[in-house]
Structure 1
Amino acid sequence: MLRSSPLQLMGSGIGSLSVPQLLAATGEMLQAAVAGGLTIATTPRPLREVATAWPQDDSQKRTVFVVD
Structure 2
Amino acid sequence: MAKIGYDDTPLLPGGLWHVHDYRRPLPRVVTPGAEAGGAPSDAVVLLDCKNLSGWAGRDGDAKWKLG
With structure 1 as the length reference, what TM-score do the two structures score? 0.21
Higher RCO structure (Cα 8 Å, ≥6 apart): 1
With structure 2 as the length reference, what TM-score do the two structures score? 0.21
Larger radius of gyration: 2
The structure where strand makes up a greater share of residues is: 1
The structure where helix makes up a greater share of residues is: 1
